Amino acid sequence: MSDFAELLDNLKKIEAGDFKANDLDRLRLVEVAKKLLNRVETQEERLFDIAFGQPIIFAALQTLVDLELWQQWARIGGGPKSVDELCELCTQKCDPNLLRRLLRLLAPVHMVAETGEDQYELTHLSPGNSWQLIQSRTHHWDGSCINLPKFLAKTGYKEPKDTKNSNYADWCPENLDFFGKCVAEPAYQDSFSGFMTAWARYKAPWPEFYDTRSLLEGADLTNGKALCVDVGGHHGIDLTRLLEKHPDVPAGSLVLQDLPEVVAGAKDLSGKIEVMPHDMFQPQPVKGSRSYYLHAVLHDWPDEVAVKILRNIGEVMVKGYSRILIVEMVLPPIGVSAIQSVMDVEMMANVSAYERTEAMWGKLISDAGLKLIKFWPDGRGNECLVEAELA
């Protein structure tokens, strides 16, 4: 027992900051810790957490979003505050004992830290400035996931592949699909954009696992020609990461494309990045770019739609010169990670789509008139860069 006590004491000392030099070791430890939890938890403990604990914990997180407490608290540094002081930070009047009970719920799951009687501070897990991750669940994921069992029963348990007759449209009061809802209600687009921005910050930057120098070598950037067109590029984080690695590329050689209501949220971009409103289902206006880049775009669509997106790009590519760079999950034959499997079924629930295996990517690329060059794994086991050219 003395050895066990020492083991527990050592485990308590481990923090995320200990792995700044090697994040892969941190990820390995997380996986081992999850497997340990799976081995030592009882069935009742696990199902209590899933069925009873997680819904009410999320409700508490969302309530503090509604009170704007996460945002206000993070703005002043997130340090220790009494319940009464936190009530003062809320943008709406809140009963102190209500807030006390919510914080008391969030402390054991480490969303806040209890620093004394009736006193709390933010932790590295607190939503803080990433509160849109919470809001996106309220707007999108909760409704679609709760509806999924009923929808699957209604369809005779067929795999959803119809982008219009989707599970999301089935639960949505206006019968809108996911992207239609985002267009119809800006708040829903904002929460989705916030989710995407926060999730993108977590991912491995693509210039770290793909040889971006190969794009510059032999690239013709004269007369305003493009180096990289980011199709469906949201707010431009991936082009920003490319520019950080290659700051000397000419202005205008990096082009950010997305729907007008999406790129309107692209703030503080470098002047070297051209922002171009564009619908990927329309003809591609930038001809002959060295590369066309799509990150987490094609997993939103089944193959027949994804082929149309790729063919629109293929029509303006230069054979032997232009590349298509697709950053997505590539599911392994066995040992699919929790992140990959969650994303796969979320795509099914929300947009009637899926994550693809290596074989599925090969078929999609071939069907679009392209030739696969190489898979570039991100080193973390989440995504790959799929490089292709005209066949």
**265/258 Cα distance (integer angstroms):** 11
Residues contacting 135, CB < 8 A, separation 6+: 62, 65, 191, 194
**119/17 Cα distance (integer angstroms):** 24
Using CB atoms within 10 A of its CB, is residue 168 exposed (0-12), middle (13-18) or buried (19+)?
buried
Do 316 and 278 contact (CB within 8 A), yes or no?
A: no
Q: Which of 140, 234, 278, 299 is catalytic?
A: 299
Active-site residue flag, 140? no
Which residue do the tokens 């006590």 mark?
5
CA distances from 188 to 97, 137, 184, 287, 345 (A): 31, 10, 8, 33, 21
Give me the active site residues, please. 299
